[in-house]
Amino acid sequence: MLSTFWQVWVTAIVVGSIIGCGILIMYTSKGMRKEETDETTGHAYDGIEEIDNPLPRWWVFMFWATIVFGLGYLGMYGLGNFKGLVTVTVDGEEVAWSSANQWKAEVQAFDKDIAPLYAKYSATPVEELAKNDEALQTGQRLFKSNCAVCHGSNAKGALGFPNLTDNDWLYGGNPQQLTMTIANGRQGAMPAWEAILGDQGIDDMTAYVRSLSGLKHDEAGAATAAPLFMRNCAICHGADGKGNIMMGAPNLTDDIWLYGGSTKQIEMTLRHGRMGKMPAHKEILGANADAKIHLLVTYVYSLTNK
């Protein structure tokens, strides 16, 4: 909705311009000759003289026609907050036309047309649907439109965004777990340990975490941090450091690092914590959301289950 000032401003410019064009045509037509002549206006350039003849009648009518069209357009489609006569169907109701309402109407019409196809896909289990090339292509398009901005167009992720093409899953990789992740989102919660461990404790714990995955580390520091890990970290990552999909705690014993496995990156994770968030997509995907999630799950599932 436009404010009163902008409504008056826009209306004055549009209507004033139309009226001004009409006055200009009337004024110029009034001073024109009625018949053709050989007299010139006195203007000449490069040997070409301008003859003082009236505009062709069809040309004048064309100018008037554009003015009539403009007024008709305003009546049909409105101006600012003034609604026109044209309506569109949005959410089952007839509403005044606007570019936004036109877009909503077209999207809803498309969603209605595509619903039977989604229904067919939804009735097929993920494991079976993963063998359907058309379903995978549809799921891939949905992925690139909604997920690639974080996970990459190749689904290999980036620093802080999981790689979906390996077999390392923070919250599990079966169809039910993937459905819950995409539909409801996930919220990571790695607390900051700087205040508890102190600088030396951070260094020692970094050494211990690197030792779990066989990376180069300070053995003395790792030995010092081992009991601290059992006391503070094992509740999420497990006593063996292999993680817990119920909590989204990553496995620390492999070579896959969500935020990097270098000494500096692990230190930063321990000092400041991590709060990664996977947004819930059920509302984001709009109409046919459950079916779209089913296709997304199928596509993601297919990346590691050929």
pLDDT in tens, 273-299: 999 999 999 999 988 999 999 999 999
Task: Please tell me whether residues 299 and 182 are part of one structural domain.
Answer: yes
Question: pLDDT per residue over 177-229, tens digit each?
Answer: 999 999 999 999 999 999 999 999 999 999 999 999 999 999 999 999 999 99
Indicate whether 33 pLDDT > 80. no
158 and 293: one domain?
Answer: yes
Q: Residue 174: give its domain's CATH number.
A: 1.10.760.10
Mean pLDDT for the stretch of residues 235-245 = 96
Q: Are residues 12 and 74 in the same domain?
A: yes
215-221: Cβ within 8 A, 24+ apart: 215/261
217 inside domain: yes
Residues 126 and 157 reside in one and the same domain: yes
User: Coil, strand, or helix at residue 133?
Assistant: helix
**In which domain, by residue range, is 6 found?**
1-34+53-85
* Residue 111 phi, psi dihedral angles, 5° rounding: -60, -35
Question: What separation, in Å, do the N-terminal and C-terminal C-alpha atoms of the chain show?
Answer: 52
Are both 125 and 175 inside the same structural domain? yes
> How far apart are the C-alpha atoms of 241 and 237, rounded to whole Å?
5
Asked if pLDDT for residue 160 goes beyond 80, the answer is yes
276 with 258: CB under 8 angstroms?
yes
In 3D space, the residue among 292, 275, 271, 273 whose CA is nearest the CA of residue 283 turns out to be 292
What does the pLDDT read at residue 306? 77
Residue 299: other Cβ atoms inside 10 A: 26
User: 94 in a domain, yes or no?
Assistant: no
pLDDT of residue 157: 96
The pLDDT confidence band at residue 27, using thresholds 50, 70 and 90, is confident
Neighbour tally for 159: CB within 10 Å: 9
* Residues 266, 294 share a domain: no
| DSSP designation for 121 | H
Residues 170 and 204 in one domain: no
Residue 57 or 273, more confident: 273
State whether 157 and 298 are in the same domain: yes
Look at the chain and report how many structural domains it folds into: 3
Residue ranges of E strands in the chain = 40-45, 48-51, 87-90, 93-96, 186-187, 277-278
Q: Is residue 41 part of a domain?
A: no
**Residue 218 and residue 118 share a domain:** no
> Could you tell me the maximum CA-CA distance found in the chain, to the nearest angstrom?
109
The structure's pTM equals 0.74
Q: What is the mean pLDDT of the chain?
A: 93
- Is residue 148, in this structure, part of any structural domain at all? yes
- Does residue 218 sit in the same domain as residue 288? no
The answer on 295 and 178 residing in a single domain is: yes
Q: Same structural domain for residues 256 and 283?
A: no
In a domain, 95, yes or no: no
Residue 195 confidence (pLDDT): 95
